[in-house]
Structure 1
Amino acid sequence: MTEEPSASAPGAPSSQGPAPHGDRAPSRAVDLTRFAWLSVAAAIATIALKTGAWAMTGSVGLLSDAAESTVNLVAAVVALIALKVAAQPATERFLYGRAKAEYFSAAVEGAMIFVAAAVILVTAVERFVNPQPLENVGWGLVISVVASLINGAVAFVLIRAGRRYRSITLRADGHHLLTDVWTSVGVIVGVGLVGLTGWERLDAVVAFAVGVNIIITGVSLVSESVSGLLDKSLSEEDHEVIRAILQRRTDGSVTFHGLQTREAGQQKFMNVHVLVPDEWTVKHGHDYIEALERELTAALPELSVLTHLEPISDPASYEDIPEAHVRIHDDDHDPTRPPQA
């Protein structure tokens, strides 16, 4: 049994010449660096604004907010590098492209969040022990509100683009900025209450809460990036689309098993065994899986499909089913033997 040559990996060199159906070329990663540049610009602007607010008020809460924006800048630069790498086409050395570079960006951003959180927590504890009065609270809060509006607008753009282009880097950066917005809201409320009540230690309490919230965000980002690096399977929604197509094509002469899926950045991958009648010619089998792959990629445009063609009545065709796979058929269908017509 051999792999069907028409379903070669995206970007892999082929000696067979171009496929007869040119509309099924592997999709290339979209260049998303313009969104990273937007994130960099927003980080620089908010750092300047929040640092100014801290300098005017002396609030450790506003200082913690500025520290998180510094992390945003570092993360945005890392994201920019990762997106440039991920957008590069496949080469002889990287036959599947470099889409997983995005997961490294999310991991670095998560690590940077932990560093910022540690600094904020230490500073908050020190200020709680040694409280200091705040100054120019009104203007400091106005400046923080402006910075939060900038972050909120950019976060909306990044999250929407991340979902559209299936980019974990943009989603991570956008959610980080959105967390920063809610952090800023908490800081603004806390500093405002300090100004109204005169309880100076409340500023440190708010800063400490900000640090804890940042740690939670960091854990989420690192967890998602690790899942991606470990070849997490596609979502259940994508599995339902794939299963529906394979079930519709299953009859007494053709069936499928051994479905496996994974994702890497913007790209989706699947491989499946296609069991066809023994008497089919290579040409017949080739034409069948070409039509199958076109149907799958029409339903999921980012999907790269690898098929394995096998004779349906050969017992050996049922001995190589992967131990871990996505169930295709209903419970009454036994994938270890041919279906009944």
Structure 2
Amino acid sequence: MATESSNGLVKRLAFWGIPLSIGVMALKLVAWKVTGSVALLSDGLESTVNVVAAVVAFFVIRYAQKPADSSHPYGHHKAEYFSAVLEGVLIVVAALLILQEAVAALPNPKLLEAPVLGLAINSLAGVINGAWALTLIRVGKTHRSPALQADGHHVLSDVVTSGGVLIGLVLAIVTGYAILDPLLAILVALNIIFQGWKVISHSVAGLMDQAVEPEEEEAIKQAIKENCEGSLGVHYLRSRRAGAATFVAFDLVVPSSMTVGDAHVICDRLEMALHKALPGTRVTIHVEPENEMAHGNGVEI
């Protein structure tokens, strides 16, 4: 029931990201029209990518939450990573579009028209985006949704853009140096490229079955240590993250004389402890007699 509620919240946020991103894009394009600023145009161009990313995230999250089936017995969780990778690529594309516009404006920079109104409109868009980005990142982390987190970081990079643009354009107005407008757009674009690379690298790590975070691994070890009574220990501990799901597997060593039933009781106890430590964890335990040699290169406990 809790998982269904969590999935529903993630899907609702992903859906509402679409109209919200369209509204913010419209505000930014109005700000550009009012001022004629290339930096504000660049900011607006990035928001068009936000719209595409929000649509992609919504449909991918819906697919990722489909239950396991015969073709995908481990579920569809990794679909979210594809969305996150695409979003990272879109962030970089947006930055390149900004660079193109900014470099083209360098030879002939212009002072802004109606700067106060334009900056006020753009500031409103930035405040809306900031609140939305923090919400997406918080919920994405809580409910382990890579697509939602990537969308949040993407929107947050948009907030950084808007903040940088606002500060730079105020300086341009105060000093009269129109060249600050395109220069600012270039600096912001470089920062956006960096943010896009972080989103891509994190998502690729998930696709490559990266192990859980160190603090989560420590929680797994602690749960095993406290609940493996009756066994002779655990070795070959492995973990991986696939979207909202966490997979844990290890070998449980028991006395050769122990019955299958007694070993099963220990396994049940360990599974319950791991589910409590990390809700939603999928646990695989291989029971081995004491004279078996340890396998592989997993973490030892």
TM-score band, normalised by shorter chain:
over 0.9
| Offset from partner CA, 1:160-196 (integer Å, 9 cap, x none) | 1011101111111112212211210110111222222
Shift, 1:128, TM fit:
0.9
Question: Residue 253 of structure 2 aligns with which residue?
Answer: 275
Measured in 1, the distance between the counterparts of 2:242 and 2:56 equals 18
Do structure 1's residue 322 and structure 2's residue 300 form an aligned pair?
no
Measured in 2, the distance between the counterparts of 1:298 and 1:265 equals 19
Question: Residue 175 of structure 1 aligns with which residue?
Answer: 153
Question: Residue 96 of structure 2 aligns with which residue?
Answer: 118
Measured in 1, the distance between the counterparts of 2:192 and 2:74 equals 34
Measured in 2, the distance between the counterparts of 1:172 and 1:46 equals 18
Do structure 1's residue 262 and structure 2's residue 240 form an aligned pair?
yes
Question: Residue 30 of structure 1 aligns with which residue?
Answer: 7
SS in 2 for 1:272: strand
Shift, 1:249, TM fit:
4.4
Measured in 2, the distance between the counterparts of 1:92 and 1:252 equals 36
Shift, 1:156, TM fit:
1.7
Question: Residue 216 of structure 2 aligns with which residue?
Answer: 238
Question: Residue 8 of structure 1 aligns with which residue?
Answer: none
Question: Residue 64 of structure 1 aligns with which residue?
Answer: 42
1:106–1:222 CA contact under 8 A, matched in 2: yes
SS in 1 for 2:100: helix
1:38–1:154 CA contact under 8 A, matched in 2: no
Among candidates 276, 279, 295, match of residue 273 of structure 2: 295
Measured in 2, the distance between the counterparts of 1:39 and 1:223 equals 23
SS in 1 for 2:7: coil
Cα RMSD (Å) of the superposition? 1.8
* Aligned pairs (5 A) from 1:92-171: 92-171=70-149
Do structure 1's residue 217 and structure 2's residue 195 form an aligned pair?
yes
2:228–2:270 CA contact under 8 A, matched in 1: no
Shift, 1:289, TM fit:
0.7
What letter corresponds to residue 282 of structure 1 in structure 2? Answer: V
| Offset from partner CA, 1:76-128 (integer Å, 9 cap, x none) | 11111110111111111110110001100110011111111111111111101
Question: Residue 22 of structure 1 aligns with which residue?
Answer: none
Measured in 2, the distance between the counterparts of 1:111 and 1:243 equals 36
What letter corresponds to residue 16 of structure 2 in structure 1? Answer: L
Measured in 1, the distance between the counterparts of 2:176 and 2:214 equals 53
More deviation, 132-141/45-54: 132-141
Shift, 1:230, TM fit:
0.0
Greater C-alpha Rg? 1
Measured in 2, the distance between the counterparts of 1:327 and 1:53 equals 58
Name which structure has the greater RCO, CA cutoff 8 Å, separation 6+: 1
In the alignment, structure 1 segments of 5+ residues that lack a partner are 1-24, 329-341
| Offset from partner CA, 1:193-223 (integer Å, 9 cap, x none) | 2222221111001100111011001100000
* Aligned pairs (5 A) from 1:308-319: 308-312=286-290, 314=291, 317-319=292-294
Question: Residue 21 of structure 1 aligns with which residue?
Answer: none
Which structure dedicates a bigger proportion of its chain to helix?
Answer: 2
Among candidates 166, 171, 175, match of residue 193 of structure 1: 171
| Offset from partner CA, 1:51-74 (integer Å, 9 cap, x none) | 000011110000111011111111
Give the direction of change, closer, same or farther, for the CA distance of 1:253–1:69 in structure 2 (3 Å limit).
closer
| Offset from partner CA, 1:14-73 (integer Å, 9 cap, x none) | xxxxxxxxxxx9x67824221112221221011100000001111000011101111111
SS in 2 for 1:306: strand
Measured in 2, the distance between the counterparts of 1:73 and 1:279 equals 62
Question: Residue 55 of structure 1 aligns with which residue?
Answer: 33
In the alignment, structure 2 segments of 5+ residues that lack a partner are none
Give the direction of change, closer, same or farther, for the CA distance of 1:220–1:248 in structure 2 (3 Å limit).
same
Shift, 1:252, TM fit:
8.1
1:64–1:210 CA contact under 8 A, matched in 2: no
| Offset from partner CA, 1:283-325 (integer Å, 9 cap, x none) | 111122111111111221121100001111x2xx215x112x1
Measured in 2, the distance between the counterparts of 1:191 and 1:106 equals 32
Measured in 2, the distance between the counterparts of 1:111 and 1:300 equals 31
TM-score when normalising by structure 2: 0.95
What letter corresponds to residue 300 of structure 2 in structure 1? Answer: R
Measured in 1, the distance between the counterparts of 2:209 and 2:90 equals 24
Number of aligned residue pairs: 299
2:234–2:300 CA contact under 8 A, matched in 1: no
SS in 2 for 1:231: coil
Give the direction of change, closer, same or farther, for the CA distance of 1:280–1:80 in structure 2 (3 Å limit).
same
Shift, 1:248, TM fit:
3.1
